[in-house]
Chains A and B, each alone.
Chain A
């Protein structure tokens, strides 16, 4: 079975600084995809960035980038130039290739607080 691990329950970062949120995964599937979502206090899930297992380069989307280390099975999210609006829960997820309708399996999440 696939597993997503996020070991940081909570993180603090000062405004305008960069922060890295950790995510490790475990899968036996040679083809897989990794996703990061942001969940503000309002509750909706906002897609941030995607990394495919065969992608040669690390994914980037604006201030978000993914530090993908395939051999270590890690896919850490880097947020550059943090803003107060970045305060939220962040979830790492992987598509389940075996069953469950190819649903996304989520980690436990990391709560990020950006301070002035």
Chain B
């Protein structure tokens, strides 16, 4: 069973509010990722990290930011939420070097609704 946790599970928030989506893993994985997914659609990579103090933007442009101060923690922040940010956000982690074909473990996701 994967040891990667996301909170909150569901969030309804007003436009303009600042929010932070939490993601923590206890597996000691270096690589962590954030994906954005609209209902019934594909996953789009929005952020990734190779390890502590490493953060990069993914393929899909996002107004969110991330930080990686500790190996186990990879929070995502939206400074000013808008209705266009309404989506599911999935956090994932992987072990091993870049050439190792290991599976990614996912958290349960955060379903964000901005009203």
Contacts and interface: CB of A to CB of B under 8 A. Distances in A.
A45 B59 contact: no
B108 A44 contact: yes
Given A35-B103, A101-B31, A91 B42 contact: yes
A33 B99 CA distance: 10
A102 B98 contact: yes
A80 interface: no
Interface in A20-71: 31-33, 35, 37, 42-47, 50, 52
A103 B109 contact: no
Contacts of A31: 99
A90 B99 CA distance: 25
Contacts of A108: 41-42
A104 interface: yes
Interface string B19-56: 00000000000010100000011110100111000001
Interface in A76-111: 89, 91, 95, 97, 100-109, 111
Question: Which interface class (under 10, 10 to 19, 20 to 34, 35 or more) fits A?
Answer: 20 to 34
Contacts of A44: 106-109
B48 A101 contact: yes
Given A100-B58, A100-B59, A101-B50, A47 B42 contact: no
Interface string B51-82: 00000101100000000000000000000000
Interface of A: 31-33, 35, 37, 42-47, 50, 52, 89, 91, 95, 97, 100-109, 111
18 contacts: A42-B108, A43-B108, A43-B109, A44-B106, A45-B109, A91-B42, A91-B43, A95-B101, A97-B99, A101-B31, A101-B49, A101-B50, A103-B48, A104-B92, A107-B42, A108-B42, A109-B41, A109-B42
